[in-house]
């Protein structure tokens, strides 16, 4: 049965089958079907034929089609045929309802006849599947497990039935597969299933094409893009750039200096990739020295680094990301040495005091030097730089021995301050020094030494026993008892008598005392050996000779040898009457047991019968006529002669000389007449004194003149030849030891000096006589009461000087 033109044969068959079914079920009601989107004007049924009515009847009976509603009609009745009048869109009319039916009523009048007509709209595949969005965005955490499902938006196809969505397909990829499910309403939806775990760090994003296809023919499909964004999971640890950091740091690096910077990277994103640094394991000591910057990873010095305290540090640093994942690395810091420690000197032992007799090279101490630094900074040179007899010998390791290099002498240098200097070989080198005090102890190596090689002393005879004669001193530079000196006399004999009976010595002071009085006339000198001994053990000693010279004292008066004083008979000299002025008439001879000045005699006439007639030689004792003798002169002439020595005080003796002026011995009167007439002697005495005074003054004046002359000529020497030749027969036997020249042992030289700068001051007699006869420097002064009439060399007045008395120094000595 063909119900519509232009329909294919196959369709025609299909529709016939359908209609047959509908007709049967509708019982008189008519049912037709037509495809959507069919062409306008298409005839899809012949109602006249189906109802068995003619066309004429239809128009007569006003046949028409009504719709239950007044919507679009889509079809109409033309003749007896049903024709499509409008485009029918099934999806518009019925949406997704599986069947779509339009219901009409076929109305006939006369009689009214009503038939229901049902028009089934058949679907055709005119719509493609469509996804709601052209892109599906999925954010999936990379930590998502395998098998995780992510539902996807469903695609829609307005067509129904087979023309609806039948399948989904996913572009081939590494991570996802598709799982398709059916809805309860028969629709299909799909899920994305994770087949391989994601790694953001490998691929952050991927796009997959999802295709939905229907079952129509021809098949239609629709696509959408699934954009998968892989979200980060904190699945990465921070990673240090090195597992172990090694760095070397010089000690004493300033605070704040950067040691090194550690870096760790985290592949994660955001907070998961933000790394902070910290020390994870650090000793308390290191914690005081190093700090780490949390953000930059810079390790800085915050304390003072001392190599000597610790030379390596091992720190652990930790890098942590925002989510708390952490990893660690090691930091090894090697501290390098800087020469910051001076050597330290330790005195390990010291044998002080050092005996002064130790041999050179003797070890006296052990010194140890230390330097806390290392390497060259620890190499030390140690020395003594002073000019002292000590040096340092390197010994084992850093030990040195201090040895002497020369002989020591405590008496020269008793102690040393030895400075030991130690210098290391760092750059710059550091050095330190230590001063040790070395004292030298005494050894009895010095004998006492006398201050003089020999001593001589002068003792005036008639000394008091016990008086000190002289003193000797010996010095011993040794220490304490080694330098304590004791004196003693070496036993010997003087004139067969032990010396100890003459002198004794004070053992402590060295003062020599006379034990008895000495007599110059008995012996004049002796020698004593004095020993000085120290108190060391064994003691050392030395000796010295002390010569004791006994000096003369004027303790003997002149002795007149001629004229012989003994006996009653006076010796009378004959004087020829014709004796002229100056002729020698007699000579007085006297001796003095003393010596020197004490034995230097001067003669003076103290009394005479005729004071103008005779004169006596001051030193010669020669009596000469002063004028020619005349007839008027008395025949008997008596002279009283005083012989005076020059001692201090001087001693004198007087004697009388009787002269007879006569040529004939027969004229000699009785000797008793020659006795002295006391009556006129007084006058005579005055005359004599006057004469002597005048002549003394005159002589003094002459001497003064001569002395001044000589002084002017700068040859200040006056030579007196005071020798008196005495026939040896006159000498008493006990004076025979006196030199052959007689009482005065030698020629006496008197030197007169005027002190420079003053012509008139001191007047000095200096002689070549043994200078030591008188204690040198003895000053003889005129005593105010000294009225001596004799010529006295010790008392000369110098009117020009205006002084009462002048100092006159007289030195007498023997030329022999």
Ligand X SMILES: *[C@@H]1O[C@H](CO)[C@@H](O)[C@H](O)[C@H]1NC(C)=O
Q: Which residues bind ligand X (CB under 6 A)?
A: 415-417, 437, 441-444, 479-482, 490, 536, 543
From the list 468, 416, 408, the residue with the least C-alpha distance to 439 is 416
Stated as kind and residue range, the H or E segment containing 56 is helix 55-60
Pseudo-torsion of CA 772, 773, 779, 784, nearest 10°? 180
Token pair in block for residue 176: 């996802």
Token pair in block for residue 214: 């229907």
* DSSP SS3 for 490: strand
Cβ of residue 441: shortest distance to ligand X, in angstroms? Answer: 6
Question: 83 or 449, CB closer to ligand X?
Answer: 449
Stated as kind and residue range, the H or E segment containing 287 is helix 284-287
Cβ of residue 370: shortest distance to ligand X, in angstroms? Answer: 25
Question: 338 or 540, CB closer to ligand X?
Answer: 540
Q: What count of other Cβ atoms lies within 10 Å of the Cβ of residue 583?
A: 13
Cβ of residue 512: shortest distance to ligand X, in angstroms? Answer: 17
Beta bridge partners of 331: 245, 315
Cβ of residue 423: shortest distance to ligand X, in angstroms? Answer: 23
Question: 435 or 462, CB closer to ligand X?
Answer: 435
Cβ of residue 780: shortest distance to ligand X, in angstroms? Answer: 40
Question: 436 or 560, CB closer to ligand X?
Answer: 436
Question: 479 or 526, CB closer to ligand X?
Answer: 479
Question: 307 or 479, CB closer to ligand X?
Answer: 479
Question: 79 or 414, CB closer to ligand X?
Answer: 414
Question: 240 or 479, CB closer to ligand X?
Answer: 479
Cβ of residue 410: shortest distance to ligand X, in angstroms? Answer: 8
Cβ of residue 506: shortest distance to ligand X, in angstroms? Answer: 20
Q: What count of other Cβ atoms lies within 10 Å of the Cβ of residue 380?
A: 25
Mode of pairing for the β-strands spanning 149-151 and 188-194: antiparallel
Question: 234 or 482, CB closer to ligand X?
Answer: 482
* DSSP SS3 for 227: strand
Residue 153, Cβ density class (10 Å: 0-12 exposed, 13-18 middle, ≥19 buried): middle
Question: 161 or 539, CB closer to ligand X?
Answer: 539
Cβ of residue 529: shortest distance to ligand X, in angstroms? Answer: 7
Cβ of residue 531: shortest distance to ligand X, in angstroms? Answer: 6
Q: What is the 3-state secondary structure (H, E, C) of 592-658?
A: CCCCHHHHCCEEEEEEECCCCCEEECCCCCEEEECCCCCCCCCCEEEEEEEEECCCCCCCEEEEEEE
Cβ of residue 371: shortest distance to ligand X, in angstroms? Answer: 26
Distance, in Å, from the CA atom of 659 to the CA atom of 574, rounded to the nearest integer, reads: 6
Which residues lie below 8 Å from residue 187, measured CB to CB, with a gap of 6+? Answer: 154, 164, 165
Phi-psi domain of 191 (left: phi exceeds 0; alpha: psi -120 through 50; beta: other): beta
Distance, in Å, from the CA atom of 79 to the CA atom of 56, rounded to the nearest integer, reads: 9
Q: Got the DSSP string for 110-160?
A: TTTEEEEEEEEEEP------B-SSSEEEEEEETTPPTT-EEE-PPPB-SS-
Residue facing ligand X at closest CB distance: 442
Cβ of residue 388: shortest distance to ligand X, in angstroms? Answer: 9
Question: 425 or 445, CB closer to ligand X?
Answer: 445
């Amino acid at each position: 049965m063909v119900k519509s033109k232009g329909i294919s044969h196959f369709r025609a068959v299909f529709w016939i089958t359908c209609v047959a079914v509908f007709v049967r079920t509708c019982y008189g009601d008519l049912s037709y079907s037509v495809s959507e989107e069919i062409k306008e004007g298409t005839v899809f049924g012949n109602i006249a034929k189906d109802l068995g009515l003619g066309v004429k009847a239809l128009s007569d009976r006003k046949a028409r089609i009504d719709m239950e509603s007044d919507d679009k009609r889509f079809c109409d009745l033309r003749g007896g045929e049903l024709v499509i009048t409008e485009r029918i869109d099934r999806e518009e009319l019925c949406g997704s309802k599986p069947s779509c039916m339009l219901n009409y009523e076929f109305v006939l009048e006369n009689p009214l006849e009503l038939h229901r007509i049902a028009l089934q709209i058949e679907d055709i595949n005119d719509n493609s599947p469509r996804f709601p969005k052209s892109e599906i965005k999925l954010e999936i955490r990379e930590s998502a497990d395998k098998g995780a499902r992510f539902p996807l938006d469903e695609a829609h196809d307005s067509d129904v039935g087979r023309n609806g969505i039948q399948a989904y397909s996913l572009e081939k990829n590494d991570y996802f597969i598709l799982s398709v499910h059916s809805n309860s309403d028969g629709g299909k939806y799909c899920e994305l299933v994770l087949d391989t775990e994601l790694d953001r760090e490998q691929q952050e994003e991927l796009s997959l094409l999802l295709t939905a296809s229907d079952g129509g023919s021809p098949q239609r499909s629709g696509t959408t893009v699934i954009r998968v964004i892989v979200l980060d999971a904190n699945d990465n640890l921070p990673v240090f750039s090195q597992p172990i950091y090694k760095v070397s740091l010089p000690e004493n690096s300033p605070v704040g200096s950067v040691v090194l910077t550690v870096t760790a990277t985290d592949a994660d994103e955001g907070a998961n990739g933000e790394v902070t640094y910290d020390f994870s394991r650090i000793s308390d000591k290191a914690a005081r020295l190093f700090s780490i910057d949390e953000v930059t990873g810079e390790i800085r010095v915050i304390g003072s680094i001392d190599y000597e305290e610790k030379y390596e540090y091992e720190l652990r640093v930790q890098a942590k990301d925002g989510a708390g994942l952490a990893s660690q690395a090691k930091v090894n810091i090697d501290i390098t040495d800087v020469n910051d420690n001076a050597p330290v000197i330790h005195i390990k032992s010291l044998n002080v005091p050092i005996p002064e007799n130790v041999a050179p090279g003797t070890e006296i101490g052990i010194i140890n030097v230390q330097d806390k630094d290392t390497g060259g900074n620890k190499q030390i040179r140690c020395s003594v730089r002073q000019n002292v007899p000590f040096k340092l010998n390197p010994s084992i390791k850093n030990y040195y021995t201090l040895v002497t290099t020369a002989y020591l002498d405590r008496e020269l240098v008793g102690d040393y301050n030895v400075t030991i200097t130690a210098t290391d070989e760092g750059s710059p080198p550091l050095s330190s020094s230590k001063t040790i005090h070395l004292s030298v102890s005494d050894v009895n190596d010095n004998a006492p030494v006398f201050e003089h090689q020999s001593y001589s002393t002068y003792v005036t005879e008639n000394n008091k026993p016990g008086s000190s004669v002289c003193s000797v001193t010996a010095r011993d530079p040794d220490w304490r008892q080694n330098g304590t000196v004791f004196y003693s006399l070496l036993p010997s004999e003087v004139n067969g008598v032990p010396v100890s009976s003459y002198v004794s010595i004070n053992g402590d002071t060295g003062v020599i005392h006379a034990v008895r009085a000495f007599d110059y006339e008995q012996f004049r000198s002796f020698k004593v050996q004095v020993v000085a001994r120290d108190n060391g053990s064994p003691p050392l000693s030395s000796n010295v000779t002390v010569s004791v010279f006994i000096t003369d004292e004027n303790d003997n008066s002149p002795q007149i040898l001629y004229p012989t004083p003994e006996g009653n008979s006076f010796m009378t000299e004959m004087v020829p009457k014709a004796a002229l002025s100056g002729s020698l008439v007699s000579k007085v001879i006297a001796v003095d047991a003393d010596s020197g000045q004490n034995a230097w005699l001067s003669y003076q006439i103290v009394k005479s019968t005729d004071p103008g007639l005779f004169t006596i030689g001051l030193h010669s004792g020669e009596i000469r006529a002063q004028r020619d003798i005349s007839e008027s002169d008395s025949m008997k002439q008596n002279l009283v002669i005083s012989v005076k020595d020059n001692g201090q005080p001087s001693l004198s003796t007087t004697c009388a000389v009787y002269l007879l002026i006569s040529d004939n011995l027969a004229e000699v009167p009785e000797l008793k007449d020659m006795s002295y007439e006391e009556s006129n002697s007084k006058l005579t005495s005055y005359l004599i004194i006057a004469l002597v005074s005048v002549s003394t003054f005159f002589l003094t004046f002459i001497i003064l003149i001569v002395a001044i002359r000589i002084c002017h000529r700068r040859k200040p020497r006056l030579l007196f030849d005071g020798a008196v030749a005495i026939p040896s027969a006159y000498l008493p036997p006990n004076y025979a030891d006196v030199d052959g020249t007689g009482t005065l042992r030698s020629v006496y030289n008197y030197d007169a000096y005027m002190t420079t700068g003053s012509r008139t001051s001191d007047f000095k007699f200096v002689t070549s006589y043994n200078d030591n006869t008188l204690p040198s420097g003895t000053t003889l002064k005129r005593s105010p009461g000294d009225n001596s009439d004799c010529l006295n060399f010790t008392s000369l007045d110098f009117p020009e000087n205006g002084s009462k008395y002048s100092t006159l120094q007289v030195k007498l000595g023997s030329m022999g």
